[in-house]
Amino acid sequence: MNTERQLQSEIGGYISTLMRKHFGKGPTSVYVTLQSEFLTIHLRGFLAPMEKILIKQNEQNRVIKTRDLLMRDISEDIIKTLNEIAQLEVRDIYADWSLETETGLLIGILKQPVPGESFDWPEDVNEKELYGKIEEASRNVEKLPEATEIVWLSDRTIMIKRSKILVELERELIKNGFEEELRIAKRPLEHKAIKAVDVEAALNRKIRETFFDWDFEKDEGYMVFILESSK
């Protein structure tokens, strides 16, 4: 049975090689977190030379769209290989990118929770207030989720899953083939909404990065907070 450290090393090595093969440059570091039915793979130092040129020409959306399309193309290979090297049965893979900080996050949803103890909520975090702020932010951008789940994956990684959040206009855009355009438009709106409700006050911690992605078919949204390290 692989230890957690071995799993993280194997997954990190595989993802680094994969990114280098398909994007022309691998990340400088990869941090893997596995908890419950969630897997996150945080990439740092990840921006190819051609992408840097496009960003200088204000073509950020073109870079994001290309990355999203490529990730959808290779997601099945990722799912298959994670099963082979780490015995993880991954159901879905999602991704988001921060070009400004040259980072990215892959989110894996497992078919079954991994065995092991869950990571407890820190005592100084106001759980009720945090749920309220997440739901307020969702209501300001889409609508109040029918269900919200918040899971601490580690002391610095928080996963939020929201269900049934799409409004009628968004469903029509998806129906008419504008999924990628909707995804690109929603990300900055979600970032603004999270800042506006001051989630950090409920967390009693600083958020270093926030990542988003959606499963439009299932009407589910995933949000991940990467927190600043404790001092």
| Domain residue limits, the chain | 4-110, 127-227
Nearest in space to 211 (alpha carbons), one of 23, 44, 48, 53: 44
Q: What is the pTM of this model?
A: 0.93
- Residue pLDDT tens, the chain, 231 long: 457 788 889 999 999 999 999 988 999 999 999 999 999 999 999 999 999 999 999 999 999 999 999 999 999 999 999 999 989 999 999 999 999 999 999 999 999 988 877 888 999 999 999 999 999 999 999 899 999 999 999 999 999 999 999 999 999 999 999 999 999 999 999 999 999 999 999 999 999 999 999 999 999 999 999 999 865
Which of 3.40.50, 3.30.980, 3.90.1720, 3.30.60 would CATH assign to domain 127-227? 3.30.980
177: left (phi over 0), alpha (psi -120 to 50) or beta: left
> Tokens 């029509």 sit at which residue?
172
Residue 225 β-bridge partners: 158, 210
* Other CB atoms within 10 Å distance of the CB of residue 159: 22
Q: What is the pLDDT of residues 61-109, one digit of tens each?
A: 999 999 999 999 999 999 999 999 989 999 999 999 999 999 999 999 9
Cα 99 off chain centre by: 14
> Tokens 């691998």 sit at which residue?
26
> What values do phi and psi take at 147, rounded to 5?
-150, 140
